[in-house]
Amino acid sequence: MTPEWVKDAVFYQIFPDRFRIGEGPPANPAPVHSGFEAWDAKPTLRGFKGGNLWGVIEKLDYIQEQGFNALYLCPIFSSTANHRYHTSDYFQVDPVLGGNTALHRLVEEAHQRDIRVVLDGVFNHCGRAHFAFQHLLENEAASPYRDWFHVYRFPLNAYSKHANYAAWWNNPELPKFNTANPECREYLLSVAEYWFKYGIDGWRLDVPNEIDDDNFWREFRRRVKAQNPQAYIVGEIWDDASRWLQGDQFDAVMNYPLGRAILGLVGGDTLDKDLAARSGLGRLESLGAMACNNRLEDLFGRYDWEAVTSQMNIMTSHDTPRIFSILRGSIERVQLAFAMLFTLPGVPTVYYGDEVGMAGGHDPDNRRGMLWDEALWQKPLMRTLQQMSSLRQSLPVLRYGRYHYLYGQDGHLAFARTHGQCSVVVTINASPESWRIDIPLHGVWPRGEQAVDLLSGKAGRCVGGYLEDGILEPFSLAVWQTQEQD
């Protein structure tokens, strides 16, 4: 079974170096460094801006007010990179981020607000500064850590373009672990266990497909669930994840295919396809309603329903351009995309800054310092996210309900979510023209019921098995529920 709390979650993804510079408590103030880039300056590949976990703590109330109740933090362990995927010490939160004390305080403060905390686990590779790789670099064949890595020959040439060892995407900065080695394997699994002492709620797994060993991930699950049976294990798998979602490895994956379907329908001709194509999103296509529905139904049919309702549904992240840029600054389309995200099966996930309308192209531009000038925030977008999160929390059917297609033509899509005796109908107008709704209900509701859009308060009618009379404005969405007639 997947963790029960996840189905009720709305995730907020934070890139710690770029979220906020916090001061820290007087007894343990955040370090002051002169080498940080200016917060508002264009980010560079190597530069640090100085965001830390104290800054996240200071903004937990903001996070909660926006409707988020779960955090997914990009890597936080000691590293020589601003993104911290170059881990040097897996048992030490980077001192620049506030160290282990800051994480302990963050988890405590988050849990007091009923906010969960999931860490990013980078177990396929480490950085060159990792103790085992440094030992190997100094001692070569004499090192007891030789078999922790995939060495081709000596010298390692660790600082050349063509290193003599396996590395992630042949990047010498990221030597790949040999997880077949029992000692290396035990070391990584002990890392996964260790941080539950701090009360974390799960792991997001970086490139888990590159550890091509199902037994490793089965053991990982056993060890993690022994620490916390309600821990969330979510893998970074960009496409079909059937292999990992059989109940013995991951609870869920980052559901980029669902995000691509939403962007395809909502974006239409506005999509910046070239921008997306040069990123992890790959080729984005403009989709009509039927094509979008077909993709969604395919996704919902691939996995057990437990996994479907636990998927980390995501449109953009630190690995993609920002949604505001992909949709070329069309705030109404961005609003509709997020509204749709909250009505589909799975767990909505929002990348920091997307809630205020931040722009951003390819890495590192998509990792700008968080925009804290409220005068520059897209307030309508923020209200949409708050409203959709509140609606999702108030309606169990939006968290647990099955998906049933009702209607699709051009930019008009309608579906029902059904859970037990409760059903709602979602209508989406992804076109620039108003849509007078007249859609078949296929037995979702009895005939003669009155209906109301829970977002706008507008009324509709159920006549002869059809929902009619509701007017949907361009690039908008309605969530219909029946009302008993007087």
Please list the active-site residues: 206, 236
Q: Which residue stretches of 115-213 are H helix? A: 131-139, 182-194
* Residue 453 Cα to chain centre, angstroms: 28
Beta bridge partners of 436: 471
Q: Is the separation of the CB atoms in 173 and 205 below 8 Å?
A: no
Q: Which amino acid type is present at position 56?
A: V
Q: Which residue stretches of 241-330 are H helix? A: 256-267, 273-277, 289-302, 305-308, 323-326
CA distance 350 to 337: 11
The residues near 246 (Cβ < 8 Å, ≥ 6 apart) are none
E-only strand ranges, 122-244: 202-205, 232-235
The set of long-range contacts for 238-241, using a CB threshold of 8 Å and a minimum separation of 24, is 238/280, 238/282, 240/302, 241/302, 241/303
* Residue 414 Cα to chain centre, angstroms: 25
Beta bridge partners of 312: 254, 347
Asked if omega into 364 is within 30° of 0 (cis), the reply is yes
The set of long-range contacts for 22-25, using a CB threshold of 8 Å and a minimum separation of 24, is 22/52, 22/53, 22/54, 22/55, 22/56, 22/57, 22/58, 22/98, 23/54, 23/58, 24/52, 24/54, 24/98, 24/102, 25/54, 25/105
Handedness of CA 327, 328, 330, 331 (dihedral sign): positive
